[in-house]
Structure formats: C-alpha cells, structure tokens
Amino acid sequence: MLEALSPRTGSVASPPLVPDVEDIQKGYAHLHCEQRPVRGTPVRLFTFPEGNTDETRTVVCLPGLGASGRSFAPMEPLATTLRLLLWTPPLRTPATHTPLLWNLALLDHAESGLPGRFALLGSSYGSLLSIAYALAHPERVKALVLVSPVASVHRIRRLALTLSTLVRSPRPLAYLLAPTVARVLGGLSLPAEGRAEIVREARRLSPVELLRRLRDVLAADYLSRLHALQVPTLVIQGGRDLLVPRRAARDVAEHIPGARLELIRSASHLPYMSHPDAFNALAGDFLRRHLD
C-alpha cells in the first residue's frame, strides 16, 4: 500500500486504493471501479454504468500525469456507442522498470483483460503511453486519439522542467501546490469539480512516483519514429495549453501519416474535462467511424 505523509501532522498515512465516495466530486462519483491484479500490480479500471459492452468498440483511455481514469468522466455521452475503459496507471511501479515500460507491459498482459484489438485515447502522459504502445504493438491498435500529445521533450515548454523541481518538494508543500497545478493544467474553463478531481488524485501519488513519470516525459523522443504509425490518428489540442504548445501538437500530427489535428481554441491542457461537448463531438465522430 502506498504510504504518504499527512500534510497536517507529518505522520505516515496509508490512503485506501479507492477513496471513499464522499471524497469524489459530483459528476465523477458514479463510475464503476474494478481493481484488476495485473502482474501482481493493482490496476484500477473505471467504466460507465450501463455503458456499451461490445468488445469490438473498445476504447482504452489513458490519463495524464498524476490523474486517474476517473478524469474521463465527462466523456460519458460517448459510452452509449463506445465501450470506454478508463485505465489508471498503478500508484507505484517497481524500480526494475520505468513507469512507461511497466505500464506498457501491463497493458499487453493477458491479465489486463483487454480485447485483442482496441482503440487508444491518451491524454498528455497517457498520449506518450499510447504512442509507445502503438509502436510496439501495431497489430492491436485500431485507432489513436492523442490529446495534448507528448512525443518529444524538445517540443514541450519549460514548465515541464519547473514541475520536475516542484515535485521534489517536501510532501506537505507538494500537497499544497496541487490546486495551483490543477488550475494551470485545466485553465479558466475547468469546472470546480474537475479541479477537485485532479487535486484529489494527484495528492494520492507519491512525489517519487510522480518524478519517475516526469522523467519518462523528459526522456521522450518519439518524433523520428512516428512515421511508422500506420493507424488512423486524431490529435486534439487546446489553444490555451500552457504545457504543450500548438507547434508540438502540429509536429505530432505532421509526423504521423494521415493524422488530423483539431484545435479547441478556448481549452487548456485537459479539453475533455473543460470542454466536453466540443471534445466528445470530435473524438466520438472519429472513434465511431474507425470502430464500425
């Protein structure tokens, strides 16, 4: 069980893997959570009640740095026609693997319960996982949706380096900084319940694990390999993203054969949370077309 320091007392506390429902904000609390042991690692998988169950229409959604699959709750309108599986990377990964390599191994393991072929929708760090998985296992990926894509550290702003310094802060300070980081990532249009969701999950992740994931981002250099992706790809970018600039999203789209770039101009780094109507229209139309 992940141990964390209490911000008030400095004592060691062990938060439950799935928090009490009263800690989860309205609009996010109704998702079903299944905990799957994959390679001995507990993985949380969220699904929508009464959602589509057709395996041929499976979309695995991979969240951003420090977020859980629950952050995709605003995508619920798509669950009537798509089987959305909201994957959450484990809170702790073994020292024998980088978080990126460990999550790739979990996604491809039989115990994950994923179908033979599926679509991937990845946000930020999740887009890095999606790209790496599609390159390693092209035969399993039907389509890609990359949101605020991370493919090379050379194309993201220095805020990433600033975040790497912040997460080295003592636990209580990092705990207090979480709301500010959520506002930066979500932008002015992110509803309060969305910010609360990001803060709640980020506070459950240890600074060590967050730093290890951030190192994956800082080491990323996939641009030169993107031409090998032969899968339908949609790139969605927020016009006010303070972390991933437009040129980074444009570079990703230009390097993937046939990829399409769509911009949600008033959105920031988390458009599926802040602008769900616009995001769902773009992602839903694309995914339905390539999963039919």
pLDDT band for position 94 (cuts 50, 70, 90) = very high
Answer whether residue 23 is part of any domain.
no
CA distance 225 to 227: 5
Residue 75 · residue 276 · CB < 8 Å: yes
Answer whether residue 175 is part of any domain.
yes
Average pLDDT in the chain: 85
Q: What is the pLDDT of residues 121-142, one digit of tens each?
A: 999 999 999 999 999 999 999 9
The structure's pTM equals 0.87
What CATH number does the domain containing 126 carry?
A: 3.40.50.1820
Burial of 9 per CB tally in 10 Å (0-12, 13-18, 19+): exposed
Answer whether residue 22 is part of any domain.
no
CA distance 271 to 19: 25
Q: What is the pLDDT of residues 257-286, one digit of tens each?
A: 999 999 999 999 999 999 999 999 999 999
Q: Where are the beta strands (DSSP E) in 111-258?
A: 118-123, 141-147, 233-238
In the predicted model, is pLDDT for residue 18 greater than 90?
no
Residues 20-25, mean pLDDT to the nearest whole number:
64
Q: Where are the beta strands (DSSP E) in 118-265?
A: 118-123, 141-147, 233-238, 260-264
Closest among 224, 244, 249, 208 to 99, alpha carbons compared? 208
- pLDDT at position 229 is 96
Answer whether residue 21 is part of any domain.
no
In the predicted model, is pLDDT for residue 155 greater than 80?
no
Phi–psi pair at 81, nearest 5 degrees: -115, -10
pLDDT band for position 12 (cuts 50, 70, 90) = very low
Q: What is the pLDDT of residues 177-212, one digit of tens each?
A: 567 777 777 888 889 899 888 888 888 888 788 888
Q: Tokens 């506070």: give the residue.
A: 203
In the predicted model, is pLDDT for residue 20 greater than 60?
no
Answer whether residue 17 is part of any domain.
no
Answer whether residue 8 is part of any domain.
no
Structure tokens at 27: 């609009």
Q: Supply the range of the domain harboring residue 114.
A: 28-291
Domain count of the fold of the chain: 1
Answer whether residue 65 is part of any domain.
yes
- pLDDT at position 225 is 95
Residue 263 CB partners (closer than 8 Å, separation 6+): 236, 237, 238, 239, 246, 249
In the predicted model, is pLDDT for residue 14 greater than 50?
no
- Per mean pLDDT, which range of 157-161, 186-190, 232-236 is the poorest? 157-161
